[in-house]
Amino acid sequence: MIRLIPKYKKLQNKKRYTIVRGGRGAAKSFHVAAYLVNLTYKEGEVILYTRYTMTSAVKSIIPEFQEKIELMEVPHHFHISGNIITNKISGSKIIFSGIKTSSGNQTAALKSITGLTVWILDEAEEMVNQREFDKIDDSIRKVGGSNRVFLVFNTDMVDQQHWIYKRFFQSGDAEDTQYITATYLDNLQNLDPSFIAKAERIKEEDPEFYRINYLGEFPVLRDAVFTKQYTTYQDEPKDFDWQGIGGDFGFADNPTTAVLVTKNKNNLYLREIVYAHGLRNEEIAQGLNEEQKGLVNVWDSAEPKSISDLRIFGVNAYKADKGPGSVSFGIKQLQSLNIFIHKDSKNLQNEWISYKWKKKNDGDYLRDGTGNRIPIKANDHCIDAVRYILMKLHAWG
């Protein structure tokens, strides 16, 4: 049998999903193929191996598996016919197929394959439609089968707006998912010295390219205001410098938002408390518990009457300090901190990764009178709420 390097031993797990990602030279495809060849020795396995586009499995993929079979010195155990490799001892098989078809009906034929127990989506970054994924995923349901799904990809094409990132990474590790991240540093013994030298040179010349393409870290959205990734968390820290609520009023077109903000040294913890349309001021107050009402609450100063109403309903509400340069100052404060967003705060997470700088028609950034870039005024209701409380408590010390 082929021995797997340590990182890939996690392929042998029983969770529904296994994510295999990383950078160049990590030998992802090699180890996944070796694992699948070994898996065919288990009876009853019907393994579907796909790439989004695969013109000819016989020319592009099956030779890779033949190589593993020959390395294992067991070619007599397997029969290859067309796009299927069958283990003659167990009867289990691997079926190779592309997802995109000439007819455009991309998943119908794959859904009709009966008895599927395992699905491998190689080069998963090419599948940009989550519904296509879900259709095949739903067909992996054989009673008594392994019923596992593998996604294998390089991270350079999976930014924070890609459905794979949102589904499997945005809110932290999912309980039903095994995560494997490997880089060339895990596979040095199998790499030519010239490859290693090139990687080290790029590390010095282009750290961002190295970070994404060699270390397998996710790229940030182009023109993103916040280029440093946030971390998800479960519970607020017990010790903190200060804690308060930031709020932004809305009604029909925009949501009303309230965010619990906890500052601990250089760390800022953000938890979405209210995010809803059509709320009256009394209902906003009802969305806060008694402890949250008693904290310093800083709300958009554009609605002084609403702030007055919140005070009537028991909220310790203050108006936000807004004026020239306040948006830029608040953004710079946020950029300087380590950001933690609660795992259940989906709207805040989506705002954070999609908050972008505004551009002019010529492609240059739009700037204010002091030269600061201006963010796009959209999908920023939670972020505005965070700025309000941060600026007020920063000013108060």
One domain, residues 245 and 188:
no
Q: Which of 155, 199, 140 is nearest to 17 (CA)?
A: 140
> Tens of pLDDT along 231-261?
899 999 999 999 999 999 999 889 999 999 9
For residue 159 the two structure tokens come to 């930014």
Distance CA 269, CA 329 (A): 19
Residue 205 CA neighbour count, 13 Å, CB half: 6
Phi-psi region of 286 (alpha: psi -120 to 50; beta: other; left: phi over 0): alpha
Distance CA 90, CA 39 (A): 10
Residue 226 lies in a domain: no
One domain, residues 199 and 247:
no
pLDDT at residue 91 in the model: 96
Distance CA 221, CA 379 (A): 15
Residue 313 lies in a domain: yes
Which of 182, 213, 244 is the endpoint of a domain? 213
One domain, residues 249 and 124:
no
pLDDT at residue 1 in the model: 46
Spatial neighbors of 349 by CB under 8 A, at least 6 apart, are 170, 171, 230, 232, 341
Given a contact cutoff of 8 angstroms between Cβ atoms, the answer to whether 151 and 134 are in contact is no
Residue 78 CA neighbour count, 13 Å, CB half: 24
> Tens of pLDDT along 66-119?
988 998 899 999 999 988 999 999 999 999 988 875 544 555 567 667 899 999
Residue 361 belongs to a domain with what CATH number? Answer: 3.30.420.280
Given a contact cutoff of 8 angstroms between Cβ atoms, the answer to whether 157 and 222 are in contact is no
Given a contact cutoff of 8 angstroms between Cβ atoms, the answer to whether 262 and 269 are in contact is yes
One domain, residues 363 and 287:
yes
One domain, residues 163 and 294:
no
Using the Cα atoms of residue 364, residue 366, residue 371 and residue 376 in order, give the sign of their dihedral.
Answer: negative
One domain, residues 61 and 124:
yes
Distance CA 48, CA 53 (A): 14
Given a contact cutoff of 8 angstroms between Cβ atoms, the answer to whether 261 and 386 are in contact is yes
Given a contact cutoff of 8 angstroms between Cβ atoms, the answer to whether 151 and 19 are in contact is yes
Residue 222 lies in a domain: no
Under DSSP, the state recorded for 190 is G
pLDDT at residue 138 in the model: 92
- Output the average pLDDT for the chain: 90
One domain, residues 91 and 27:
yes
One domain, residues 182 and 261:
no
Distance CA 156, CA 369 (A): 36
One domain, residues 205 and 250:
no
> Tens of pLDDT along 116-145?
999 999 999 988 889 989 999 999 999 988
Given a contact cutoff of 8 angstroms between Cβ atoms, the answer to whether 213 and 266 are in contact is no
The share of the chain scoring above pLDDT 90, in percent, equals 63
The answer to which of 19-33, 98-112, 135-149, 326-340 has the lowest mean pLDDT is 98-112
Residue 220 lies in a domain: no
Using the Cα atoms of residue 301, residue 305, residue 306 and residue 308 in order, give the sign of their dihedral.
Answer: positive
Q: List the end-to-end C-alpha distance of the chain, in Å, as a whole number.
A: 63
| Number of domains within the chain | 2
Residue 221 lies in a domain: no
Q: Is the pLDDT of residue 56 over 70?
A: no
pLDDT at residue 229 in the model: 80
Phi-psi region of 288 (alpha: psi -120 to 50; beta: other; left: phi over 0): beta
pLDDT at residue 173 in the model: 85
φ, ψ of residue 16 in degrees (nearest 5)? -60, -45
Which of 213, 247, 263 is the endpoint of a domain? 213
One domain, residues 176 and 75:
yes
> Tens of pLDDT along 338-381?
999 999 999 999 899 889 999 888 888 899 888 899 999 988 99
Which of 213, 239, 261 is the endpoint of a domain? 213
Residue 114 belongs to a domain with what CATH number? Answer: 3.40.50.300
Distance CA 397, CA 382 (A): 23
pLDDT at residue 395 in the model: 63
Burial 343-360 (b: 16+ CB within 10 A, else e): bebebbbbbbbbbbbeee
Which residue range(s) make up the domain with 357?
231-396
DSSP string, 265-299: TTEEEEEEEEEESS--HHHHHHTS-HHHHHSEEEE
One domain, residues 290 and 190:
no
Strands 93-98, 267-276: pairing is unpaired
The answer to which of 44-53, 100-109, 267-276, 313-322 has the lowest mean pLDDT is 100-109
φ, ψ of residue 349 in degrees (nearest 5)? -60, -45
Residue 1 lies in a domain: no
Given a contact cutoff of 8 angstroms between Cβ atoms, the answer to whether 65 and 57 are in contact is no
C-beta neighbour count of 183 within 10 angstroms: 19
Best mean pLDDT range from 135-139, 257-261, 302-306, 324-328: 257-261
Q: Is the pLDDT of residue 223 over 90?
A: no
One domain, residues 186 and 248:
no
Q: Is the pTM of this model over 0.85?
A: no
Residue 224 lies in a domain: no
Under DSSP, the state recorded for 31 is H
Residue 54 lies in a domain: yes
